Amino acid sequence: MNLTLHIWRQKNASDPGRMVRYEAKNVNADMSFLEMLDVLNEELTLKGEDPVAFDSDCREGICGMCGFMINGVAHGPQRGTTVCQLHMRRFKEGDQLHLEPWRARAFPVIKDLVVDRSAFDRIIQAGGFISVSTGSAPDGNAILVPKPAADLAMDAAACIGCGACVAACPNAAAALFTGAKITHLAKLPQGQPERYQRVLGMVAQARQDLFGSCTNIGECEAVCPKAIPLDVIAGMNRDFIKASWERREEVIEKGAG
Amino acid sequence: MSSVAADSHVHRAFHFYQESLGKKVVMAATGVVLFGYLVAHLLGNMQVYLGAEQMDNYAAFLHSMPALLWGVRALLLISIVGHIVSSIQLARLKSAARPVSYVKKEAIASSYASRTMMWSGPIIAFFVIFHILDLTTGAAGAAQFQDLRAYENLVYSFRRVPVAAFYIVAMVLLCMHLYHGLWSMFQSMGVSHPRYTPIIKRAAAWVAILMAVGFISIPISVLTGLVGANL
């Protein structure tokens, strides 16, 4: 099939960028979307032009590296799928496809379709961890986890941090990502000691990185390649309210002083 | 010791409200108050179908308790200010969070109502100001406005077609605002459950529609002569 691509080309972070039109000829329907771009890039390279930069790693839909907007939808038209697992059979002859990078203040464009998602790493550093004692390996089942809690934690832990939720959100909020990471650990016994510090830290970090505010509209849930539900955002809100109520630091500091 | 406690209250409130999640809780809590008032207001208004005497007696009854009346008005004013201030602060975060907009962006899951809260809200606020000037103080009321003659004031006001039309438009927007807001307040307060959230969403939609139908029925009844034909 033959497609017309309109791709966001931006040399570097300071370049204003623009949409450039490319013709993709004789696209094989069995190719993945990224393979189609690989072919385009080979042609561009042979012509001496700069190939289109995009992120990818595993190409199995599990690493979270890839992702861009296809016709205004994060990861393209297929639900629950990263763009590397999207195949050209989803498109038809003559389609016009607009490819754009994730757009958010917190995700500055590095080049073309590649954005810097370090802001997600900073949110994780602000609380997305548990503390474990070193030493000999603990017994596998020493800490019991109820099956429903394990399932809910696993659902939330499926988040691969691709950033599609932020990209799809009209407010560029990181609520689904942050909520997934908080819920993942909040459901497990291992996550309890730091549970309320965690939510305060991660929520504050998301604000400092200039992510927007959630308006509960559900665009994030719809584009999430791991189909993580809005429920995790409510879980984050719940923990945030509880953590705000229970914070005692100021009182303790003054009392001890 | 008391100064330590006072310090920490301010501190805690500051920490809470500093986060967008805290502002959303304020949105939700003030939304609950405003919704509660709407329900009471609709039930009060429905007495228009019971005749002038009933309606005017109800107005007199409310004004017979000035402490309660002004207490409720103060609570509503605080809620409206809280709702508007936090919404403006949240909207500013939104524009700061995406300085470069998409060339092409599709909404694939969200309702039209949920994406237009910052349009429906301000228009409703503007309507409320007009509505108070029209039917409470009479400053923008019909020529025949008389204090506490609720029934007559309402009929004469809605006989002005532009006023009735503005009222109907505002109520449609209110319906949209409630359609999203009524369930969204649960989510903002952390109440979500895969079994109950769909029920809450459906209930929110029905309540929003029924309330709009109830309010809109009044100007329609006046314009069709169903209410106030004897005036």
DSSP state letters, A5-58: EEEEE-SSTTS--EEEEEEE-S--TTSBHHHHHHHHHHHHHHTTPPPPP---SS
| 41-100 in chain B: CB under 8 A from chain A | 90, 93-94, 96-100
Cβ(A224)–Cβ(B116) below 8 Å: no
Considering only CB atoms, A244 lies closest to which of B16, B23, B189, namely B16
**A223 and A127 both lie in a single domain:** yes
| CB-based contact B103 A73, cutoff 8 Å | no
- What is the pLDDT at residue B10? 82
Query: Is pLDDT of B12 > 90?
Result: no
Q: Which helix (H) or strand (E) holds B62?
A: helix B52-63
**A35 and A55 both lie in a single domain:** yes
- What is the pLDDT at residue A256? 46
Considering only CB atoms, B102 lies closest to which of A69, A216, A234, namely A69
**A122 and A240 both lie in a single domain:** yes
User: Which of A59, A85, A109 corresponds to the end of one domain?
Assistant: A109
Q: Hey, is B121 helix, strand or coil?
A: helix
- Cα–Cα nearest to A170, from B140, B149, B45, B93: B93
- What is the pLDDT at residue B1? 42
Q: Hey, is B65 helix, strand or coil?
A: coil
Task: State the Cα–Cα distance between residues A246 and B29, nearest whole angstrom.
Answer: 19
- The alpha carbon of residue A68 is apart from the nearest alpha carbon of chain B, in Å, by 12
Residue A139 sits in a domain of what CATH number? 1.10.1060.10
Torsion of CA A75, A77, A78, A79, to 10 degrees: 80
Cβ(A235)–Cβ(A186) below 8 Å: yes
Task: State the Cα–Cα distance between residues A116 and A158, nearest whole angstrom.
Answer: 21
Q: 């791709």: which residue's tokens?
A: A7
Cβ(A123)–Cβ(A209) below 8 Å: yes
Q: 């805690």: which residue's tokens?
A: B12
Q: How many inter-chain contacts (A to B, CB under 8 Å) are there?
A: 152
What residues have CB less than 8 Å from B139, skipping those under 6 apart?
A: B133
- State residue B99 phi and psi, 5-degree precision: -65, -35
**A248 and A132 both lie in a single domain:** yes
Query: Which chain A residue's Cα is nearest to B88?
Result: A213
Alpha-helical (H) ranges within A117-225 are 118-125, 147-157, 164-168, 175-186, 195-208, 219-223
- How big is the CA angle at A185 (ends A184 and A186), to the nearest 5 degrees? 100
**A127 and A241 both lie in a single domain:** yes
pLDDT confidence tier of residue B3, bands split at 50, 70 and 90: very low
Query: Is pLDDT of B9 > 90?
Result: no
- The alpha carbon of residue B181 is apart from the nearest alpha carbon of chain A, in Å, by 9
Query: Is pLDDT of B6 > 90?
Result: no
Dig out the tokens for A226 from the structure: 């791991």
- The alpha carbon of residue A116 is apart from the nearest alpha carbon of chain B, in Å, by 14
| CB-based contact B190 A235, cutoff 8 Å | yes
- Cα–Cα nearest to B215, from B186, B181, B178: B178
| Residue B3, Cβ density class (10 Å: 0-12 exposed, 13-18 middle, ≥19 buried) | exposed
Dig out the tokens for A173 from the structure: 């909020």
Cβ(B161)–Cβ(B220) below 8 Å: no
**A133 and A240 both lie in a single domain:** yes
Q: Which residues of A touch B194 (CB under 8 A)?
A: 229, 231
pLDDT tens digits, residue range A78-122?
999 999 999 999 999 999 999 999 999 999 999 999 999 999 999
Q: Which helix (H) or strand (E) holds B39?
A: helix B20-45
**A148 and A68 both lie in a single domain:** no
**Low pLDDT (below 50) residues in chain A:** 255-257
Task: State the Cα–Cα distance between residues A3 and A26, nearest whole angstrom.
Answer: 8
Mutate to test the interface with B, among A200, A216, A241, A250 (most CBs of B within 10 A): A216
Q: Which residues of B touch A15 (CB under 8 A)?
A: none
What residues have CB less than 8 Å from A188, skipping those under 6 apart?
A: A145, A149, A150, A153
**A89 and A105 both lie in a single domain:** yes
| CB-based contact A8 B100, cutoff 8 Å | no
- The alpha carbon of residue B76 is apart from the nearest alpha carbon of chain A, in Å, by 23
- The alpha carbon of residue A60 is apart from the nearest alpha carbon of chain B, in Å, by 24
Q: Which residues of B touch A173 (CB under 8 A)?
A: 20, 97
Per the structure, the count of domains in chain A is 2
Query: Which chain B residue's Cα is nearest to A216?
Result: B184
**A8 and A61 both lie in a single domain:** yes
**A104 and A149 both lie in a single domain:** no
User: Which of A109, A127, A162 corresponds to the end of one domain?
Assistant: A109
Q: 């932020």: which residue's tokens?
A: A166
Considering only CB atoms, B97 lies closest to which of A210, A235, A236, namely A210
Task: State the Cα–Cα distance between residues A178 and A121, nearest whole angstrom.
Answer: 11
Q: Hey, is A236 helix, strand or coil?
A: helix
Q: Which residues of A touch B12 (CB under 8 A)?
A: 244, 247, 250
- What is the pLDDT at residue A132? 86
Q: Which helix (H) or strand (E) holds B170?
A: helix B161-188
Average of per-residue pLDDT across B194-219: 97
Q: Which helix (H) or strand (E) holds A114?
A: strand A114-115
- The alpha carbon of residue A113 is apart from the nearest alpha carbon of chain B, in Å, by 13
Q: Which residues of B touch A219 (CB under 8 A)?
A: 107-110
ipTM of the complex: 0.91
Tell me the three-class secondary structure of A140-167, residue by residue: CCCCCCCHHHHHHHHHHHCCCCCCHHHH
The ranges assigned to domains in chain B are 23-71+110-223
- What is the pLDDT at residue B231? 83
Dig out the tokens for A25 from the structure: 């000829």
Highest mean pLDDT pick, A17-26, B7-16, B137-146: A17-26
Task: State the Cα–Cα distance between residues A245 and B11, nearest whole angstrom.
Answer: 12
- State residue B90 phi and psi, 5-degree precision: -70, -40
- What is the pLDDT at residue B148? 87
Q: Does B103 touch chain A (CB under 8 A)?
A: yes
What residues have CB less than 8 Å from B122, skipping those under 6 apart?
A: none
**A124 and A93 both lie in a single domain:** no
Structural domain span for residue A35: 3-109
Cβ(A182)–Cβ(A231) below 8 Å: no
Residue A30 sits in a domain of what CATH number? 3.10.20.30
**A55 and A14 both lie in a single domain:** yes
- What is the pLDDT at residue B2? 46
Query: Which chain A residue's Cα is nearest to B196?
Result: A231
- Cα–Cα nearest to A7, from A135, A122, A97, A117: A97
